[in-house]
Amino acid sequence: MQQQVSQMSVNTEKKKLKLLSFGHYPCIVDGIVVNIHLLPFDGGSVLWVNSENSLSMNNLAVAMPSRFEVSTSQTLLGRRLDMQSSDLAKRLSKRTGQQIFVSYNLPENDVELLRKVEAHLITSVFPALR
């Protein structure tokens, strides 16, 4: 199931920012309903991942592609020790070659859940942007 809103444009003083679409991609991973919200824009995307029971955005990280092996990332909101959003942003930025903002709000210590959600993002969500 996917919901999308049509294209929008926002004028800024110097440049026009084009928002491509807004997508909601719910899925079930290990019996947990996972809501994936994606807002792509020219040159990047904002990704918000949460469970059915929580609409929180406890953290926000950003990663940018680099000409070096590893993408750079920074936690913008939340605890700096919570590396899930930052690590996921780095991996997605490297894979897509774009700036990626991520807010990952699922159980912190469940590495297997993170791996499965990331696999779903790569196979189902990001290909839908093309």
Per-residue pLDDT reduced to its tens digit, 14-62: 555 455 567 888 899 988 899 999 998 888 999 999 988 778 889 999 9
* H helices present in 4-110, as ranges: 84-96
pLDDT in the model for residue 68? 80
Domain boundaries, the chain: 3-129
Secondary structure element (H or E) that encloses residue 24, with its range: strand 22-24
Q: Give the C-alpha separation, 21 to 8, whole Å.
A: 7
| Domain 3-129 falls under CATH 3.20.20.80 | no
Written as one letter, the residue type at 126 is: F
Is the dihedral angle over the CA atoms 113, 114, 116, 121 positive or is it negative?
Answer: positive
pLDDT tens for 60-93 read: 999 998 888 777 899 999 888 778 999 999 999 9
* pTM summary value: 0.80
Query: Across residues 2-19, what is the average pLDDT?
Result: 47
| Whether residue 3 has pLDDT greater than 90 | no
pLDDT for the residue 8: 44
Token digits for 73? 């990332």
